Amino acid sequence: MRPLALAYHAIGTRAVREDPHGLFVSWARLRRHVAWLQARGYSLVTFGELVARGDDGLCALTFDDGFESCSALAELGVPATVFVTTGWLGGWHPDVADAAMLSEDGVRRLHAAGVEIGAHTATHPDLTLLGFEAARDELSSARVTLESLLEAPVTSAAYPYGRATADTVRACGAAGFAAACRTSGFGSRSTPLDYPREDMDGPASLLGLRLKAAGRYEPLMRARAARGVRRAGRQVRRP
């Protein structure tokens, strides 16, 4: 079984109109995912450990943005990583108005419970639209803030929107990180600062998890998208 990193955001149940971006996964669904992974023989580890070891059969559960709902992750009884957007600490998520973000104390409690805390930049920009220095500063600022809160090193990061260029990756290394990740299967397991994750938000099903674990989901989706583009092109060309 190849190493696997899964990308979630928030935990809880929301109606589609309350969660238009599909950021919430229910506790029941998340527990089913964990049970399936364990039944398959995966060992669950933090993202930092996954990248450092790189062994087959390892899986990291990761959660982006720093939703307050992640404060109960210790109840799962397995390792996890939360990537925190430091500028949102103690506030509300910009895309889900009534979704609270972790407070500084909440981040400390998660860390004390054994959850890995990683950085998700200071203000959550698309780093691919920034120059090298601006991208480095966004990442470095988040790292410094979190290390000050935790009085411990923060060595893992996640790129906002899962996007990164070669300059973004270089900026992340310059900001002091040892491991960083994207989403939607983009990146390379041989590149610690450009590690791929599989999207597991909202309606992510057990079937989808099986396909993603096998490395079949993203190629299938891209092939379908390509076929859709080709069909649309043929329809446009029809007299």
Q: What's the rounded Cα separation, in Å, for the pair 164 and 64?
A: 15
Single-letter amino acid code for the residue at 200: M
Q: How much is the pLDDT for 216?
A: 83
Q: What's the rounded Cα separation, in Å, for the pair 4 and 134?
A: 30
Residues 56 and 97 in one domain: yes
At 91 the three-state DSSP class reads coil
Which residue do the tokens 């610690």 mark? 192
Single-letter amino acid code for the residue at 147: E
Residues 118 and 164 in one domain: yes
Average pLDDT over residues 27-33: 95
Residues 209 and 192 in one domain: no
Residues 196 and 210 in one domain: no
Q: How much is the pLDDT for 225?
A: 56
Q: What's the rounded Cα separation, in Å, for the pair 132 and 27?
A: 38
Q: What is the DSSP letter of 87?
A: G
Joined together, the tokens standing for residue 208 give: 């989808």
Half-sphere exposure of 19 (CA within 13 A, CB side): 17
Residues 179 and 235 in one domain: no
Q: How many residues does the chain have?
A: 239
- Is the separation of the CB atoms in 4 and 58 below 8 Å? yes
Q: What's the rounded Cα separation, in Å, for the pair 54 and 189?
A: 8
Q: Indicate if the pLDDT at residue 222 is higher than 90.
A: no
Q: What is the DSSP letter of 67?
A: B
Residues 118 and 219 in one domain: no
Distance between terminal CA atoms of the chain?
A: 50
Of the candidate ranges 86-100, 125-139, 200-214, the one whose mean pLDDT is the lowest: 200-214
How does pLDDT run across 182-202, given as a tens digit for each residue? 999 999 999 999 999 999 987
How many structural domains is the chain composed of? 2
Residues 198 and 224 in one domain: no
Confidence of residue 14 (pLDDT cuts 50, 70, 90): confident
Residues 151 and 239 in one domain: no
Domain that holds residue 160: 4-204
- Bridge partners (DSSP) of residue 158 are 181
How does pLDDT run across 72-97, given as a tens digit for each residue? 998 899 999 999 999 999 999 999 98
Q: How much is the pLDDT for 235?
A: 42
Q: How much is the pLDDT for 202?
A: 75
Average pLDDT over residues 147-175: 98
Residues 69 and 145 in one domain: yes
Residues 10 and 56 in one domain: yes
Q: Residue 85's domain is classified under what CATH number?
A: 3.20.20.370
Residues 99 and 175 in one domain: yes
Residues 143 and 184 in one domain: yes
Q: What's the rounded Cα separation, in Å, for the pair 176 and 68?
A: 26
Q: How much is the pLDDT for 232?
A: 40
Average pLDDT over residues 121-126: 98
Output the pTM of the full model.
0.92
